[in-house]
Amino acid sequence: MNGPPDPALDKLRGRIAAARLGPELEEQGTVIAIADGLATIAGLPGAQLNEVVTFGGGARGFVLTLDEDRLHAAFLDPMAGVTAGDIVTRTGHLASVPAGTELLGRIVDPLGRPLDGAPPPDWATILPAERPAPQIIERDFVSEPMETGLLVVDALFAIGRGQRELIIGERKTGKTSIAVDAIINQAGSDMICIYVAIGQRMSAVRRVINAVQRLGEPARTIFVVAEATAPAGLQWLAPFSATSMAEWFRDQGKHVLIVYDDLTKHAATHRELALLSHQPPGREAYPGDIFYLHARLLERAAKMAPERGGGSLTALPIAEIEAGNLSAYIPTNLISIADGQIVTSQALFAGNQRPAVDVGLSVSRVGGKAQWGAMKAVAGRLRLDYAQFLEMKVFSRFGGFGDAAMKARMTRGERIAALLSQPRFAPLPLVTQIALLSALNEGLLDALDPPRIAALKTALPALLDADARLEELRTHMQTLDDATRAVLIEVVRSGLEQP
């Protein structure tokens, strides 16, 4: 045994020494009851929250609640075939997702399984679906803008990188469209986008995917889909696991935009699972931990400090309300967790003011701090002017205004309304937005009817792009000097002279 040392042999000896010989303990439990999407299991005393368990037929679930003598597991696979009395085995693994650049351009389910027919992503890097939010010392202030390309948002409710801005409104008021426009607008930026579909019809998800594939930058987008017919556990897990995928990029110093569409359906799934597992129902039959559920999810959005790479995770959660009732339980929870809300209104939508953003109810609590100085310089009076216009419009129904000043205000207000409305899939570059607002402030738009304003919006980006004098503004929007403002107005004038 005294030959020359052989490293390969040493390695082998080491592995033999480390190998655990003898019986391995595999914990098994029994299904004692099955309900829609949920199994009650006896045994498995060592199981932990979020641990994946496997049922006899191969279906998987994850531990949702732990009681003294039993636990509840939500299904991650169809539960067909699983019955009371079946054996359940612990896996020792928490519900996890693959992470990495390989996911870009993919459509996956909340466990990273492909839904696009392409091969499964590489599992070299695995992250648990539930991860703690960054600590306060790891964070930085939200100060860089995340441009949506929607004038009504970028000018009035600017969103910053790392912010959580709720999009909330009644059904069919253009909530998804606002988020999709924001994703499409990132085609020209360095943002990675993740769209999370929770409990939606597949046809609706398909429309979003098609729009992004056609007009956005699909190679920098990930779709995480748990449609309405997916097992409840998958729908529950979707926002958490998608956030883990996003965090991987954030921690590489990248900037990520994540859209949760929508958290009302997520809350409903949580309630359903909670009621089935006999948790005491609270307000509106939601369990007591519903606030904590969404708070811990949205706390994961963050702008990271420079020493942590300076990446960011911006979240746009979507929520649906009924009959304009913003003070229902889930809406108030989400409003208090988020850093502001974009409220869409049925009345505006029906009146063809689209995106149907209610300027009075919407707010961005980061807003101005994450808005370029150049935009701030031209958008300053917009909100007030518009609010006054909306008020006057109500009164004008009782009779016309004789006063010339009032008439001028109405005229200006109508131009603002025309500027704020924007068709879908037509994001406006920030320089165009600034030019339009400069022209508005100069009174240049007062003589134009809405169709001409719409035409101007279409023509302007190319004209502004072609102007070399605006090179400085395109890259530095911190301030807007008078010379640049004059150039912007000149370009708008030339745009108006075109037939």
Ligand X SMILES: Nc1ncnc2c1ncn2[C@@H]1O[C@H](COP(=O)(O)OP(=O)(O)OP(=O)(O)O)[C@@H](O)[C@H]1O
Give the Cα-Cα-Cα angle 343, 344, 346 (nearest 5 degrees): 140
For 406, the token pair is 């009032």
Q: How many helices (H) and strands (E) does the chain have?
A: 16, 17
Q: Is 491 exposed, middle or buried (0-12, 13-18, 19+ CB in 10 A)?
A: buried
Applying CB under 6 A, does 173 fall inside the site for ligand X?
yes
* Residue 469 contact, options ligand X, Mg ion, none, Cβ 5-8 Å cut-off depending on partner type: none
Give me the 269-308 binding string for ligand X, x by CB under 6 A, dash otherwise. ----------------------------------------
CB of 56 to Mg ion, least distance (A): 38
The alpha carbon of residue 117 and the mean position of all alpha carbons in its chain are separated, in whole angstroms, by 25
Q: How far apart are CA 287 and CA 74, in angstroms?
A: 16
Q: Is 369 exposed, middle or buried (0-12, 13-18, 19+ CB in 10 A)?
A: middle
Tell me how far apart the terminal alpha carbons of the chain are, to the nearest angstrom: 96
* Minimum separation from the CB atom of position 175 to ligand X (A): 4
421 near Mg ion, rule: CB under 5 A: no
Helices (H), 57-126: none
The residue number whose beta carbon is nearest to Mg ion equals 176
Identity (one letter) of the amino acid at 87?
Answer: I
> Rounded distance, CA 386 to CA 41, Å?
59
Specify the DSSP element, H or E, that contains 317.
Answer: strand 312-320
3-class DSSP state for residue 119? coil
Q: How many chain residues interact with ligand X (CB under 6 A)? A: 13
Under rule CB under 6 A, which residues in 393-422 are in contact with ligand X? Answer: 422
Residue 365 annotated in active site = yes
From candidates 161, 175, 220, 255, binder to ligand X by CB under 6 A? 175
Q: Distances from the Cα of 366 to the Cαs of 146, 149, 165, 399, in angstroms? A: 11, 18, 9, 40
Min dist. Cβ of residue 181 to Mg ion (A): 13
Binding-site partner at residue 177 among ligand X, Mg ion, none, CB < 5 to 8 Å by type: ligand X
- Judged by beta carbon distances under 5 to 8 A according to partner kind, the member of Mg ion, ligand X, none in contact with residue 433 is none
Nearer to ligand X, 199 or 413 (CB): 199
Please tell me whether residue 214 binds ligand X under the rule CB under 6 A: no
Nearer Cβ to ligand X, position 239 or 355? 355
Specify the stretch interacting with Mg ion by CB under 5 A; choose among 172-180, 277-285, 331-339, 346-354: 172-180
Provide the minimum distance between the beta carbon of 168 and Mg ion in the complex, in angstroms, as a whole number.
11
| Piece in contact with ligand X (CB under 6 A), picked from 169-177, 390-398, 440-448, 465-473 | 169-177
Is residue 354 near ligand X by the rule CB under 6 A?
yes
Residue 427 makes contact with ligand X by CB under 6 A: no
Nearer to Mg ion, 176 or 314 (CB): 176
**In angstroms, what is the minimal distance from the CB of 177 to ligand X?**
3
CB of residue 107 to Mg ion, shortest distance in Å: 18
Contact between 355 and ligand X per CB under 6 A? yes
Comparison of 50 and 346: residue with beta carbon closer to ligand X: 346
177 binds Mg ion (CB under 5 A): no
Q: Which is nearer to ligand X, 150 or 488 (CB)?
A: 150
Please give the Cα distance from 446 to 440 (Å, whole number). Answer: 7
Q: Which residues of 424-457 are buried (b: 16+ CB within 10 A; e: fewer)?
A: bbbbbbbbbbbbbbbbbbeebbeebeeeebbebb
Is 176 one of the binding residues for Mg ion (CB under 5 A)? yes
What would the two tokens of residue 109 be?
């389910």
CA gap 63, 370 in Å, rounded: 40
Q: Is 496 exposed, middle or buried (0-12, 13-18, 19+ CB in 10 A)?
A: middle
For Mg ion, the closer of residues 176 and 244 by Cβ is 176
Q: Which of 197, 193, 180, 154 is nearest to 362 (CA)?
A: 154
Choose which of 112, 174, 231, 317 interacts with ligand X (CB under 6 A).
174
Span 303-322, contacts to ligand X by CB under 6 A:
320
Q: Which is nearer to Mg ion, 229 or 479 (CB)?
A: 229
- Interface with ligand X, residue 199, by CB under 6 A: no
CB nearer to Mg ion: give 176 or 333: 176
How many residues in total does the chain contain? Answer: 499
What gap in Å lies between CA 333 and CA 294, rounded to an integer? 8
Segment contacting Mg ion (CB under 5 A): 22-30, 33-41, 83-91, 168-176?
Answer: 168-176
Minimum separation from the CB atom of position 397 to Mg ion (A): 32
User: Of Mg ion, ligand X, none, which one does residue 109 interact with (CB within 5 to 8 Å by kind)?
Assistant: none
Structure tokens at 2: 């005294």
Beta carbons of 290 and 135 less than 8 angstroms apart: no
Q: Could you identify the residue written with the tokens 């005393």?
A: 45
187 φ, ψ (degrees, to nearest 5): -55, -35
Measured from the CB of residue 159, what is the shortest distance to ligand X in angstroms?
A: 17
Is residue 276 within 8 Å of residue 36, measured between CB atoms? yes
Q: How far apart are CA 464 and CA 445, in angstroms?
A: 17
| Candidate list 365, 381, 409, 424, residue with the active-site label | 365
State the binding partner of 424 from ligand X, Mg ion, none, CB within 5 to 8 A by kind: ligand X
One residue of 65, 148, 163, 177 binding ligand X per CB under 6 A? 177
> Which residue numbers are catalytic?
365
Residues making contact with Mg ion (CB under 5 A): 176
Residues making contact with ligand X (CB under 6 A): 171-177, 320, 354-355, 422-424
